[in-house]
Chains A and B, each alone.
Chain A
Amino acid sequence: MSGKAKRRDDDGASDADSEGHAPPKKSLKKDSDDDPDSITVCEISKNRRVAVRNWKGSIMVDIREFYVKDGKQLPGRKGISLTMDQWNVLRNHVEEIDKAINENS
């Protein structure tokens, strides 16, 4: 398993997971102008997005919360980057997750 060194932004201790109140938006797939190695796929809430990135030669699926500072949206510490192997496992269990949610609700 390849080690993933990540830039850690220290934005204070995180308590319970915050919940976005805005309706989720489905954005068009677009390349970030400032980062050619990143594709923002969608926003799952006001401050959370899913991106596909090239990190040191490895492609990662990044599910992360963003925060605003100095007018810029910066990646926060709350999130996780998945390798292709991990993404494949998650993708293959999507229906199982749905089933578990329905049973739990």
Chain B
Amino acid sequence: MTEPHHDTSRRTVLQATLAGGVGALAGCLTDEATGGDDGASDEFTIGLHSDPTDDDWDAFDYVVPYFTQVVEPLVGVSSDVEPEPLLATDWTAIDDTTWEFDLREGVTFHDGTDLTAADVVASFEATFDHWPWVDGWTGLDPGSTTAVDETTVRFETTDPFPAFPGAISHHYFAIQNHDAADAPVGTGPFEVDTTEDGEVRLVAFEQYRNETPEPSALTFRHLEDDTTRVLSLENGDIDIAHDVPKDQAAAVDEHPETTIQTQVGNHAGLVAVNLYKSPTDDEGLRRALNWAVDQAELVETVLDGIGMPARGPFSSSIPWSIHEELPAYGPDRDRARELVDDSSYDGEELSMLVDSEDGDDSRIAEVLQNWFDEIGVATEIVQVDPASFYDTFVAGEANLTIVGFGSNSAASDYLVRAMFHSRGSDNYQRYEADGTGVYNPGDEVDRLIEDGYRAETGAEKREYYGEVQRRVLETGAIVPLYYDEYVLGTRASVSGIETHPIDKMLEWTELSRTARGDDGA
């Protein structure tokens, strides 16, 4: 009696499984995308390598200000990386250390309340509270920001800092309405609709400067894996993929339904050479390493031709970079070998630190290892996970470290200070411990950086910082590699993106889409 019952049951299970399988297969094969399709929708989905809801950004209620345009700073950054009015229309240096900023009139937060000087003060204080170390970038101390009246804010810097307006164009100093119950409430063209782990949906802020953004909604989605992000773009799950890996850029460009845009950013890749650790404490050896490297071949092969061969430590897009004036070392490996022979180097292995998650840098490390080997210098590649990479670097444990630095504001002064000043963040730990550092050439360069920091005009600044760049190269404190060029992948039907040297400041307000069929896609 039980046997037939069992048979029926098995058959039912089999049928159900088969039906489920067919259903699932049909679901997989359907042409209908779940988001970011090429219809005439004015909603767009953007895939980011970084998490738009990163835990580090609790000050902004876990909506990362980079890319999202929910909040705005007082000062914006122009396409030539100069400060330009944003929430502040004008600013004046009252004296060497006092600045007054006039707020734009008629600006309202997403909740309808007016922007006032008190909101600016509250936002700056909140930033100093969350990230105590950023006051060093601006020369401000907590409590040094005051509201003069409803629309005027005063800042008192500890030292003269002419580049102050550019320094506060960083997203750290974006203004929020801290009285709002649901943060972040900003003034940007998009307001937060919903957030979930790794994804934030924004809708257009209709009252934005009397100009409603073109897209009605934007969704930023965390797609960390490069291939997944690219496939999502090609499949139409997303409309825009930020940071397409260079080795997949050609495939995205050749795909009939996608295209790419590239832009040289202000990020530079270089080898930081430890000046205080044997055997790289020998200047002859450091110069030899520089003569061995072929930046053009590196960009052409490892970076798939996307990027610029570097001559200095700062991208050519930074206003005071003297890239064009810097002499190129080589490549000349015969000369490099002679320098090695003349140096005190006696065959020991140089440690070369690299971030294990950075595919480009890992490949560059292997190519460098090969070139250094050709000139008789042995290296050992040490891959370190991103969480401990910077700590290992500033601890001065490696002879060589492949790093990439760029500025996210209109004033890149903090960059030159962090990298080459003895008390800059990269060198401070070793300098405090034993008076050395990592790749800070010493007192003279420290003084040049301080003079550049105080320089009143762009020309003056360029003169001081330019000299820093020359000294850094002459002493072989770095081996320049490349100036980064980021790749943005988009559906062919998407238009209206104007690239920016700082990719985190890309604007989405003009985004539009050609309906399927209209573009021949």
Indicate whether A and B interact. Answer: no
